[in-house]
Every structure is written in structure tokens, then in C-alpha cells.
Structure 1
Amino acid sequence: MQETAYAKINLALHVRSRREDGYHELETLFAFVDRGDTLLAKRAEQDQLQVVGEFGGALDDPFGNIVMQALGSLPRPDGLAITLEKSLPVAAGLGGGSADAGALFRLVERAQGLPDDWRQRAAKLGADVPACVESVTCVGRGTGTDLEPIDSDLTGTPVLLVNPRVPLATGPVFKAWDDKDRGPMPEGTAREIAEAGRNDLRDPAISQCPVIAEVLAALGKSEAWKVEMSGSGATCFALFNDVEARDAAARAMPSDWWQMAGLLR
């Protein structure tokens, strides 16, 4: 069996407050690109994980990998041998690990179905994991695990992801947030939310990783109608009205930056 771990982006990310449990109250619009990591699975006597690909070297502890944690969270009669081809950069604001876990849930669902409480099991692995299991445009509230469906008028939108090849941990970015509530996420269609929304973690992330500002500036010179940072960074994205404009922007990016071009699901 094969499954794609679709790259997650936040078309808007409004941080409303800091919670007593150390997490934050969020309002976000999740969207997913039609490309990402790849998981290959076959039945085995016991669970196994092999990580390959461009960014596979960043995940050198298979037992600490979220894919193995996801395997352990789901009851199954047989083991699964997983080969994870890591094409998405690590600690990049793309939900890479969460996307991998989401793809693993879909593999198990295909093989035997998921338990009724799969959402709770997914949430224990990470705040983005429940959204990544379904990998469709949706609104996330609370810590990001309270999901609301939204009809997407952005499906098929050309998107370009760009990362300066600098990993950026989520914790320090949230810690650098200034505790100012800048207002709720707007209402409307997915495109209207994307156009009017913001990412409240952009400035905190730039304070930790200044090159993000350079990536945003480079994308801002393109014909994109939306340019923003995803999640807690450092990956930025640009949305376009046509593939030709997206591909022209991709050619203009510095060759030492990572990039991935695709379409929104």
C-alpha cells in the first residue's frame, strides 16, 4: 500500500490567547497541497520503520518518530513495515510529522478500518494530526484539534512552497508571541478567509529566523495573490491564479532554497 502525506499549510493562523496548560487558543484555516512525503506499507510480523529521502537523515531515531507512535496508537492484528520517503523539510511549518502520522492512519483505515475514537488517538500525537488524517481544507479551533468543515473554493489553486533550509522549532516561536489578541479569523469562503486572514506567528518567527523575511519578500515580487508563512515557519507559501505564474515564481527563487510546487486539494 502507498499513501501520500500531504503537506499542510495554514492559510490563516490567528493566535487568540495563551492557555494555562502551556498551549494556545488558535483559529486557523488548514489547507493541504497535493504533494508531500510518501509512505509505503506492507504487512510484517512486527512494526518496522525505514526512513529515506532528501530529509530522511534528520529523522535518525525510528522509535521516536511519530509514525511509530501512530502505529502504536492503533490496535491491529498484524505488524506493518513502513518505508517513509521524507521529501518535506523537518521543523518547517508544513506539519510534516503530523502529515506522516495522518497518512499512516489512512493506511490503517484502508487495511482494516479505524477505531471509533481515532480522533482522540490522533490528537494525542499532535494538535495538527486530526486535520492531517483527513487532509481537506477545514477550520481548526482550540489548539487546532476542534475541526469544522468548510466548502473550499480553493481546490486546484496553484501553490508554491519555499523554505530557506533553516529548521525552526515551534516552541520558541510560540514563546516569542507578544500575547496580543489581534482579533478573530474572518468569516466567509476559504478564499475570503485566506485573503483577509493573517499569521500571528510571522513576526515571532522572523525574530528567531530573519531569513523568513527574505523568502516572503522574494515571493512578494511574483504574481501571487496571497503570500504568507505557514504555521510557525520557516516555510512560506504563495497562491496563484494560474500554473504559469506559479512556475515563473519558482524559477525566480534562489537555487539554494527548497521549494515544492503543487495544487491545493
Structure 2
Amino acid sequence: MLTETAYAKINLALHVRRRREDGYHELETLFAFVDDGDRLSGSLADADSLSTHGEFAAKIDDPFGNIVAKALSTLPHGKGWAVDLEKRLPVAAGLGGGSADAGAVFRMVERSAGLPGDWQTRAARLGADVPACVLSTTCIGTGTGTDLQPVESDLTGTPVLLVNPRVGVPTGPVFKAWDGVDRGEMPIGSVRRIALEGRNDLEAPAIAICPVVADMLAALRATEPFLARMSGSGATCFALYDSEAQLQAAWDKLAETQPHWWKMAGKLR
């Protein structure tokens, strides 16, 4: 039996530079990962199978067309695996939930049989965030986000709070609503500096589509983190704190004022 956590992905910064002729966007992003997420287990079986449970399992319309099943089919892994997925992260949430699940499958296969030399190309075919989610370490992504440069992080261990309104926001419409303005390159320096001086260029179009994103950012900033920002294309927002006590106080406040929002607390890996 193999077990793996599909670590929640956040974008500490996400700069959209231009629309490409192939329909994708040229990005500069700083990926970071929280030490919690979906949970997967796998065991040898006569054929591949996938079972799902957990709070957000019902949001997966077709488990056998799920990215986990696709990740299994793209990798040599023996006769078959029976995979169980506990879906704890909201879907279409800017946390790379499906990509994180696929990344966890890649790591399980790596531990069991090793990954092929072209694993990164195979991962990228599943989604732009999948290669970063396989690594699940702080890294800078360029191109469509698949060209990765791992970096040492001075934010490892930082308390982080994730908040989602339980409203899915599809990635495509948010990118389509981006105004096309290049607001400049991502800063250079430490991870903390890039996070503080960077931005998420998809916040404005996401708020136009899902106005509660602005409410979440305001609520998080009222808890006095040193950074609050939307992750990916939304709708999840995150806040970073200097201490566990600040994080706990923020959790308690939001539990009282916004009890229906999904929340997850953890630390940056």
C-alpha cells in the first residue's frame, strides 16, 4: 500500500505577460505548496481502478475520466493499481487540486517503479500545473508554467490559511477575461520578496466573474497577515502569517463571521 498527500498549490505571485497564438498565456509564477491537501492510497490490483470519497468527491463528474486515471494511464506502473482518493480540496478553486492529485500519482509511481525520463513532458500533457505539482516544492514557473526552476524558500514553515467560498471558478473564463495588459515581470530576489512585491494578474478578472473573491481578500486582510492574495485563477485566497497564534486568531474570527466558507490551515513546505 502506497500513500501520498496531494499538496495544495498556491501561487505566491502570478504575472500574465501575453496571450500566445496557440491560445495559452505566457506566465511568470512562483509556486508554493501547503503541507496538506487531498489524500491518495494505492495498492496492486488486476486492473486500474479509482474510488473517490471525501467532502468534494461529488464534484468529480466522471471518476474514470479524472486526471488521476489519466495520470495512471500515462505512466508504466505494472499490471494495475487500485487507487483511493479522498477529495479534501475544493474543485475549480485555484489550488491545483486535480493537478496535485496527478502529481501524487507520479510520486507514488516514482517510489514503486521509478519515473520515465520524459516524465515532465508526460505531466505537462495532463495540465500546465502538473509538473510543478509532481515536485511539490517552491519553484518559479515560466512559459505556460511548465518550465520550472526550483528555488530555496525563506518562507518554508510559514503559517498559511486557505479560504474558499465553495464556488467553483473555471480557469478558462478567467484567463479570457484578462485585459491583455502586461504589467511587468515578476520581481527577482528571495521568495519572500517576490511574494510581497509580486501580484496576481488574474485577481481582477476573477473578481468580475466571482465577486465574493473581493470579500474574502478583505476578510483575510482584516486579520493582519503579512500577505493576502488570490491563488491561481481563483476562487481560493490565502493569507500568510508570522506566527501560529496569528493564524489561529484568524481561523477563529473567520469561523465566527464566515462559517460557511471552506478553510484549511497549514504551513508552507
Unaligned runs of 5+ in 2: none
2:105 is paired with a residue whose SS is helix
RMSD of the TM alignment (CA)? Answer: 0.5
In structure 2, what is the Cα distance between the partners aligned to 1:151 and 1:235? Answer: 25
Q: Per-residue deviation at 1:250?
A: 1.0
Question: Which amino acid letter does the alignment assign opposite residue 45 of structure 1?
Answer: D
Amino acid at match of 2:9: K
- The correspondence of residues 48-67 of structure 1 with structure 2, limited to 5 A, is 48-67=49-68
SS of 1:179's partner is coil
- Which whole-Å CA distance do the structure 1 matches of 2:76 and 2:110 have between them? 11
Alpha-carbon distance between aligned partners in 2 of 1:203 and 1:77, rounded to the nearest angstrom:
46
Counterpart CA distance in 1 for 2:172 and 2:86 is 26
- Aligned counterpart, 1:46: 47
Deviation string 1:88-132 (CA, Å, 9 cap, x unpaired) is: 000000000000000000000111100010000000000000000
Aligned to 2:214: 213
Structure 2 match to 1:68: 69
Amino acid in the other structure paired with 1:221: A
Q: Secondary structure of the equivalent of 1:16?
A: strand
Matching residue within 240, 259, 265 for 1:261: 265
SS at match of 1:8: strand
Q: Distance in 1 between matches of 2:167 and 2:252?
A: 20
Q: Which amino acid aligns with 1:127?
A: A
Separation in 1, partners of 2:248, 2:98: 27
Would you say how many aligned residue pairs link Structure 1 and Structure 2? Answer: 265
Query: 1:60 offset after TM fit, Å?
Result: 2.9
Q: Which amino acid aligns with 1:40?
A: S
The share of aligned pairs that are identical, in percent, is: 66
> What is residue 132 of structure 2 aligned with on the other side?
131
Counterparts of 1:85-96 in structure 2 under 5 Å?
A: 85-96=86-97
Query: Unpaired runs of 5+ in structure 1?
Result: none
* Alpha-carbon distance in 2 for matches of 1:86, 1:98: 12
For 1:162, the equivalent position in structure 2 comes to 163
| Alignment deviations for residues 184-236 of structure 1 (CA, whole Å, 9 cap, x no partner) | 00000000000000000000000000000000000010120000000000000
Q: TM-score, normalised on structure 1?
A: 0.99
TM-score normalised by length of structure 2: 0.98
Q: Give the superposition deviation at 1:252.
A: 1.2
Give, in angstroms, the shift of residue 76 of structure 1.
2.4
Separation of aligned partners in 2, 1:71 and 1:232: 26
* Distance of 2:240 and 2:77 partners within structure 1: 40
- Output one character per residue of 1:146-178: Cα deviation in whole Å (capped at 9) or x when no partner: 001211001000000000111000000000000
Give the ranges of 4+ consecutive aligned residues of structure 1 lying more than 3 Å apart after TM superposition. Answer: none
Alignment partners' CA distance in 2, 1:173 and 1:153:
31
- SS of 1:51's partner is strand
